[in-house]
Structure 1
Amino acid sequence: MSESVAELARRFERGVVDVDELVAALEAAGISDRLAERRYGVPTVFALGEAVLAHLERPPVRAPRPVPYVRAALRRSALLLTPVVCALAAADELARVGWAVPAVAAVLGWAGARGRAYAAAGALLTAAACGLAPATLAGPDRGLAVAVGLTGYALVAGARTGLRWAVPAWLAAGALLAGLWDRVEVLPVAAALLLAAALRIRAHAPVTGVLVALCQGATAVLVWRAAPDAAVLALGVPLLVFVVCWHEARAATATDAHDDLRAFHAEVRDLGTVTVGALVPPLVAGVGLGAAAYRLPYLLSSHPGARGLVLGCAAVLLLGGVLALTTLLAARGRRLAAAALAAAPLGALVAGGTLLPTTVAALAATYLAGLVLAAHAVFDPERY
């Protein structure tokens, strides 16, 4: 190792100011993190740059790299809740269209949030699907179906934009819910701003990432159809966004925080332990609620909607965990596994029996399998 690093140091012994400049030069020379580990025995290019500077007798200058995640988690949660709040504000309009309209908008919108090209194509597909769908699915008013579908699509597709673009939608929805304003036409205008912002984002996810998003959206629609009375409970789903954002923030600096492999592997173990441990309680609570729905106290068991409400709580809680697990798997490069995991609960549609209990059982089984897959991914140093 020392001879290789020494030879590398002789190539950069002049004109290097600090470690950041050296890292840029190393990456320009084609040295990646994997190559740095295999050839020089250090976990990252940044650590290799520090080793080279040590041979050059220059003290390594490491700029602090704090990665805040609370603000990002709050922003992402607010963006995820934007279509939910707007749907509550436009409940009358949604009641006049078929269930397939918001379903198509949600699924295609979630996939459209992955990049500019997908957002543009998804808008065209949404308009075509809502305009050409049979009246039994879209409702008798095709114009209203297209307007509602495009509005919902724009609100969901803007889930990766800046929060400032969602402020008009929140203000409009708040005014409608409070009775201060009765012109629901302002919601499509606010949604158009979100879609315009989404079209400006140059991010372009791979096809497998879009497949994961499509499966996630379809599973969310399944839970909505199985437990429509518990739709407002979806407000609790973004709570698990904090787990995902914390993991992403720690993973972004895990390879740069340590100079030797032993410390790096210890960092990965700690990160994996906390991540998987944080996702176990929702599974336990969801399974517990699912079992408790069939053993309610006498006063609650006599209420006709009590069991459905408890099962709806379990479904929404388990859905949040499944979405978090699939997002973690996709972030660690296991996109096909994430897509298969996200699509697994859809088996409840062909399993027979009552839809809501079957959906809860499918989500619980998927959640457990997802924990095992996520554990393999987050504990693997090669995935960072």
Structure 2
Amino acid sequence: MTITPARPRTHTPRRRRHRVPAPPRHAISLLPEPAPPAEPRSRRAPVRRTCLRAALLRCGLYLGPLSVATAAGEPLGRVAWPVPIVTLLLGWAAAQALTSTGVAVARRAGPSAATRLVGAGFAAVAALWCALVWVTPSALVGPDRGLALVIGLGGLASLATVTAALVTRSEAAIVGWSVPCWLLAAATLAGPAGESVAELPVGTLLPAAIVVAAVRAFRPVVIPGVPGRIPRLTRPELRRGSTFLLIGASQAICVGQLWQAGPSGSTMPFWLPLLLAVPILEALIGWHTDQVDAGLDTSPDGAAYRKHVRGVTLITLAGLLPPLAVGIALALAAYRLPPEAPSQADVLGLAGGTLLGGVFAVTFLLAARGRTGLAATLAAAPPVAAAALPLLPLPAAGPLPDAVAVLAATHLAGLLAVAMTAADDRRTAP
């Protein structure tokens, strides 16, 4: 999930604004669009129809990095565990920050400038990764530094491709160019079933597939003869980018904590609930932001607008409650199993993944409503609390139970924060 800044609104609702409709606020639809017809007309129906399409496009984009990780399963097994964790930390944090700032830059300077910003940002992250691989002891990167270097650069390139697609609004095109990565991941999973598939040179084709998708995503930069430069970021853009950098880093740390706390070789991966929840949560957040924006045109006064927002927030809370309920139910079911049962840790891992998906959704919903500081606080709370719990004079329950308990408390606090935003008449992000 990657939420980009919304267009600011500072005025109060009026009876009916007879003006040319502005571009929709949804994160996928923030960049300049063709000029609308001069005659005013309602824009809400088409925007509502595009919410689900935008969510599905984003899910297709996220399948690209996931497919790369799946296809690279064999080389990932030959490097130390910090390699994928640090790659995820650097790449996801950079993707969040650069998506937030890149959309704003594309809105005021064009997609080429935004693409250059994303490219420069990920180039700096790639340089940092190379330096880390060079100076880190072999015990933390594995016996083959070159392989660790290539794995990290491949993961960063796939996340950079997704980020460039979001800021240039080329999601549909990049999804199509990511199909080779999907096919290689499918071939890797089906390898043991057939000799012809097993003999496919995935190790050679995967880097080529990553590069092809990245070249298409950064086409505004790689086309020869296209002049341009990286624009200077404004102070609000820098502040918002820093906030999303913190959100992305916190989310990556949460994923790493659950992965490390869970049992090795688990047949019930904790990230499975995240994959199942992403399409639903993306559509829910898109629907929420669109309905809140629709109230600006349909509400005759401020009181009616606040009532409208409260109704939308109530429905949204109903959609965000199932991850909390399912996660707590799975955790309770795990504790009813015998402690020596190997499935107890698996069920706890599923509970943690379910709760983590809900925390992600609450965080991004608050960010989409302009509460970026509150969103960053909620995102940072689980890793900070999980690190502090062993220092407190409390009974030691273990890393995985502690992580599940912290995620459940954060999810509940996030729901309360979303409910409280319904009483606040601020419209959108600053």
Q: Which residue of 2 aligns with 1:235?
A: 275
The CA deviation string for residues 134-166 of structure 1, in whole angstroms up to 9 with x for no partner, is 212111111000111111222233334222232
Q: Which residue of 1 aligns with 2:321?
A: 280
The CA deviation string for residues 352-377 of structure 1, in whole angstroms up to 9 with x for no partner, is 24111111011111111111112223
1:119 to partner: Cα distance: 2.7
Q: Which residue of 1 aligns with 2:135?
A: 132
The CA deviation string for residues 172-231 of structure 1, in whole angstroms up to 9 with x for no partner, is 222332232233232222223444455568997622122212212221222222225224
Relative to the length of structure 1, the TM-score reads: 0.78
* Greater shift in the superposed pair: 228-237 or 316-325: 228-237
Letter in 1 for 2:204: E
Give the conservation status (yes or no) of the 8 Å contact 2:14–2:299. no
Pick from 236, 246, 256: which aligns with 1:221?
A: 256
The CA deviation string for residues 8-44 of structure 1, in whole angstroms up to 9 with x for no partner, is xxxxxxxxxxxxxxxxxxxxxxxx8424x2xxx628x
Give the conservation status (yes or no) of the 8 Å contact 2:386–2:403. yes
1:381 to partner: Cα distance: 2.7
Q: Which residue of 1 aligns with 2:178?
A: 166
Is 1:42 the counterpart of 2:80 in the alignment?
Answer: no
State the identity as a percent: 39
Q: How does 1:7-18 map to 2 (within 5 A)?
A: none
Q: Which residue of 2 aligns with 1:294?
A: 335
Letter in 2 for 1:90: A
Is 1:183 the counterpart of 2:202 in the alignment?
Answer: yes
The CA deviation string for residues 101-159 of structure 1, in whole angstroms up to 9 with x for no partner, is 11111122112222414333222223332333221211111100011111122223333
Give the conservation status (yes or no) of the 8 Å contact 1:341–1:366. yes
* Greater shift in the superposed pair: 63-72 or 193-202: 193-202
1:303 to partner: Cα distance: 6.6
Q: Which residue of 1 aligns with 2:418?
A: 374
Q: Which residue of 2 aligns with 1:10?
A: none
Aligned residues: 335
Match of 2:202, SS state, is coil
Q: Which residue of 2 aligns with 1:93?
A: 75
CA distance in 2, matches of 1:363, 1:173: 31
* Structure of greater relative contact order (alpha carbons < 8 Å, 6+ residues apart): 2
Q: Which residue of 2 aligns with 1:17?
A: none
Letter in 1 for 2:389: A
CA change 1:78–1:350 in 2 (3 A) is same
Q: Which residue of 1 aligns with 2:40?
A: 61
Over aligned residues, Cα RMSD in angstroms?
2.8
CA change 1:61–1:183 in 2 (3 A) is closer
CA change 1:135–1:168 in 2 (3 A) is same
Letter in 2 for 1:108: L
CA change 1:231–1:150 in 2 (3 A) is farther
CA distance in 2, matches of 1:197, 1:364: 41
Q: Which residue of 1 aligns with 2:377?
A: 340
Relative to the length of structure 2, the TM-score reads: 0.70
CA distance in 1, matches of 2:286, 2:150: 33
Unpaired runs of 5+ residues, structure 1, are 1-31, 51-59
Is 1:208 the counterpart of 2:187 in the alignment?
Answer: no
CA distance in 2, matches of 1:96, 1:183: 16
Unpaired runs of 5+ residues, structure 2, are 1-7, 21-38, 103-117, 166-170, 192-196, 221-229, 391-395
CA distance in 1, matches of 2:275, 2:184: 19
CA distance in 1, matches of 2:213, 2:373: 29
Pick from 339, 358, 361: which aligns with 1:324?
A: 361
